[in-house]
């Protein structure tokens, strides 16, 4: 394997060359294009939310209407941690450490599934305790309820898709697909998962906090 030398204070450091560095496969380009179009969808939803909030005078305070942000803060922290575990899974693949790769992938999948479970719990709490439905809110404007469920539900669908995607990657890993260090497919899955996590941070900020 060829290597690259980098000059340091105490002598040259040698790093192995990454054969995929600076190269974009058709699959990766396709994933980036998909993420760009998906980002436009989320941008449209958040823009519509902002316009409605700016023009409707009796818009409720989200923190009060949603019963606080404790649960959603935990969900945010969970997704951030799952992004870290996804990075660790890809790094383990590069090092051809099959055991660690499977462990980190399982942790990432578990984080996504836990997020979905917490979202279901939040929805049930809003339905049963706070009088929110998909098109009405017992204590304020129904447009708030509609936009909240539209945005968070659309994101939840992405999390579910990401979990299923990662489950397929886990199966490929079990079958030995990544044992030779070819992390290309894992990296594509990681791009999607990081996008889902980043979007949730924006949703959490604009819908729950501001």
The two most distant CA atoms of the chain are separated, in Å, by 69
Per residue of the chain (210 residues), give pLDDT as tens: 444 444 445 556 554 555 555 566 777 888 888 899 999 999 999 999 889 888 888 788 888 878 788 889 999 999 999 999 999 999 999 888 999 999 999 999 999 999 999 999 998 888 887 777 776 676 666 788 888 889 999 999 999 999 999 999 999 999 888 888 788 889 999 999 999 999 999 999 988 887
Number of CB atoms found within 10 A of residue 132's CB: 25
**DSSP states along 130-150:** S-B-SS-BTTS-HHHHHHHHH
Q: How far does CA 83 lie from the centroid of its chain? A: 7
User: What CA–CA distance (Å, rounded) separates 16 from 37?
Assistant: 35
Tell whether pTM > 0.85. Answer: no
**Domain CATH for 83:** 1.20.120.80
Half-sphere exposure of 136 (CA within 13 A, CB side): 2
**For residues 62 and 137, is the Cβ–Cβ distance under 8 A?**
no
Number of independent structural domains in the chain: 1
4: three-class secondary structure by DSSP: strand
Look at residue 18 and tell me if it is in a domain: no
Look at residue 1 and tell me if it is in a domain: no
Look at residue 6 and tell me if it is in a domain: no
**For residues 200 and 155, is the Cβ–Cβ distance under 8 A?**
yes
Look at residue 7 and tell me if it is in a domain: no
| Residue listed under structure tokens 């799952």 | 82
**For residues 89 and 186, is the Cβ–Cβ distance under 8 A?**
yes
Among positive and negative, which fits the CA dihedral 49, 54, 55, 58?
positive
Look at residue 33 and tell me if it is in a domain: yes
Q: Using only the alpha carbons of the chain, give its radius of gyration.
A: 21
Look at residue 15 and tell me if it is in a domain: no
**Residue ranges making up the domain that contains 128:** 24-209
pLDDT of residue 209: 84
Tokens in use for 92? 């383990």
Look at residue 110 and tell me if it is in a domain: yes
Look at residue 2 and tell me if it is in a domain: no
Tokens in use for 111? 């984080």
């Amino acid at each position: 394997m060829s290597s690259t030398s980098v000059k340091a204070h105490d002598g040259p450091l040698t790093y192995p060359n990454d054969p995929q560095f600076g190269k974009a496969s058709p699959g990766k380009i396709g994933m980036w294009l998909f993420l760009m179009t998906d980002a436009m969808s989320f941008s449209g939803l958040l823009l519509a939310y902002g316009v409605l909030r700016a023009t409707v005078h009796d818009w409720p305070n989200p923190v009060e209407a949603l019963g606080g942000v404790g649960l959603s803060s935990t969900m945010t922290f969970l997704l951030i941690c799952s992004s870290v575990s996804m990075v660790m899974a890809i790094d383990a693949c590069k090092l051809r450490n099959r055991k660690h790769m499977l462990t980190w992938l399982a942790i990432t999948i578990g984080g996504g599934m836990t997020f979905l479970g917490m979202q279901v719990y939040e929805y049930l709490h809003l339905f049963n305790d706070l009088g929110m439905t998909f098109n009405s809110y017992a204590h304020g404007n129904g447009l708030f309820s509609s936009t909240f469920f539209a945005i968070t539900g659309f994101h939840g669908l992405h999390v579910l898709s990401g979990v299923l995607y990662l489950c397929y990657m886990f199966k490929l890993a079990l079958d030995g697909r990544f044992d030779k260090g070819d992390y290309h497919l894992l990296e594509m899955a990681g791009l999607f998962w990081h996008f889902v996590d980043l979007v949730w941070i924006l949703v959490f900020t604009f819908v729950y906090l501001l």
